[in-house]
A and B are shown apart, each in its own frame.
Chain A
């Protein structure tokens, strides 16, 4: 397979709390003949709270600028590893493409910076590209260090699949309530896939960031389910899921009298280890809760 170039939108979490997602995605991409060219001087997508203060158009303008910048770099598909970045960028792209009124308004705003964008790009999630473009056979082919015996609870979360995974432009790559792609990734890596009932449960998203008191219970349920199936790690594609469930475990233990200490990693880190990469390449040193069992599997 020859290399295919994608325009890459890492998103803000890639710089701090979710840098291990960015690092591991970049690491596996190289092995899967995916060339990532980052959007030059990208900005924030607005995440899930921007609209509240400034309304829908100003929020859409954020993605509008990113898309305009991406288009300047060519017509390659734009991909993002972050659920919220994908959701916003894909959504805005679709409405610029399908809704002439939105297109006109956003372009009016972009014009003050000398930019424009007509909606002719395709915005995709990294996972969708792995499913539809790369395929599991190819992933399996790259595995040099099968993770036999590693018990993985695959936790997809919300926005990676909802609301676009079942749409044509979203790549129709899986279902909303029982997605299989994540388990398939882990299986391809030789890991033991655990039945994980809350696989599309919500961690509380950004509400967990500013009002965790309301959502600790949601996260506790997810952790409990992982403990019930004796997971070595929880694996997720979403940077906000990862950080929420990792950083709040102490507080959850305090509130609910539990004793959770379950590492939460990204599927891309699991893939990196299976592809034979080391702790640094797989960014396994970036965890608040060390994924010991996964690190043990790293090829010496």
Chain B
């Protein structure tokens, strides 16, 4: 839709108190005089979202008078469905939440603020286009599940039950993973007080009996290329046979392996055959009553040592969350088999969240003896002796004469394949805790290390071996677990259409893994469905736009290919970027990265943003009315500003907010354009970055921060103070802090004085 064919209609709402706080006639004048909207297409209504108001807009659209509706009323975040007119573009100006609800009614400043938001909307309407969808050639809806343990089996079964074809591959010769070998499982059904039967055999049988699931044993993925709905995977069998399959989405359920106990000499591993790991002990339980390896006798006194090599900076720094319940289960099983056996559990913190607390109590009732404290050492004197720094007695207590010691070792994620020192993949070592386990983690791709932290390069071979510009790995976050948005989108990885679930994502037990796998299966189904309709996955669910690159202007700087958080952009042999639209999540980070503004979306461009910024009328210096631009992330910061308005929090009338898809989509040019057109300062509000990020596009806000670190040079070349631009991490819960944050920034601007570019 070109500018000539656009027929914008302006609809001003005077309801909700807008008409009382702002003179509507002045706003109408902005539309009709400044922006030449014909008077008959500029209408004010006192209840625009009511039936009558909506009918008025609908009538204009149906008569063909209007094909673009500019609604100047409430926040674009509310009444979305009411102000949706199919085939007609809607642009919103937020006069309620961010004007009249946070400024004083009847004041000139309030009127100027409202007028500026209307101007920005009018400019947006001029610049914005209706997006057209991406069309692929054909779409595969088949789902590949990598890993045949509990998580993989569950994901496969769930997807098949929903009617989708599934290809399930497993690197070993049997299905069922670790948990198939468990004697019993920790309770997952009410009343959550006793070990429950292991139902893995049933699950394996169900998967084998499902006609929609094709199972490949002794098989690994050796290559993955393409994009969601059109992945090509190369599968290599143990005997070397190679096949290729086409799939639409991938679920990576590669699970975990126990931490290498040979590193736990300080806890007595290796000093006696009767010091075993919980996995080894579980195998004993599975084959009958546990027996001492030394003499084959049943142990009469057993001590479980929790956090063996976990929550320990020299070993695994994290909590594996399942070991406490696993030891409780094993302890109860021993007491059930022989009530005369003394069972000790030595722990620092018993972590039994939620209903697992019931299980903890059950173990107490079963007479398991709990000792709270840190293990100081394990020796082979007097049977086995465990020295404990008893936290409740505040003294060292020896547990002497033990028949057996069980080390509750943690979970190591299989986010990469273990490799030896030369980088060669190691043979299968999953269940054998004696085999060495290299630390997994960042591999291939090496993102910037968090500030102040040493950069750790993890070793490991890729599991999916992605043929992506950004490397073969599914990205990994801290501690070697696969990266996912913990708070909002737990199964999403940074590779669209690829989902991780189960203990490869975070330590979890069987019940959690099954739930996780079910979630991942649903996400994979959602992915193949949405993508085959050309729609974006969340957080911009349903968005049809995708980045378009004008290669004539491209300087082959590769910023877009490197910075895309989702690996959506590859490079041609000549070094030009090529977009894989189905991998794209529409955050616009590429657009923000491009130094020559040659990347754009149909409905989101740098030109649109800078034009909107410039639409604001900046008063002369003498008027002493500063202007500060807030570039606010639509996901958290902009809602936080709305929330401040809803709470009637007074905020400065001198700020002008422009919502952005992600702070990653903000080009440095937006900032310099704002400053050169007279704004006194720019606040960039994005989500939290770092290991505990909340950015909805994972790396967008981090990218923006990195770019803004370089803004100093730009400011210097403009002879401006660096204090004029600042980045903030704002969560929705920060709504109440905004007056303080914005107030402080306004003070800073006051102290550095007006922008000398004003009025130029």
Note whether A and B contact each other (Cβ less than 8 A): no
Which B residues contact A (CB, under 8 angstroms)?
Answer: none
Which A residues contact B (CB, under 8 angstroms)?
Answer: none
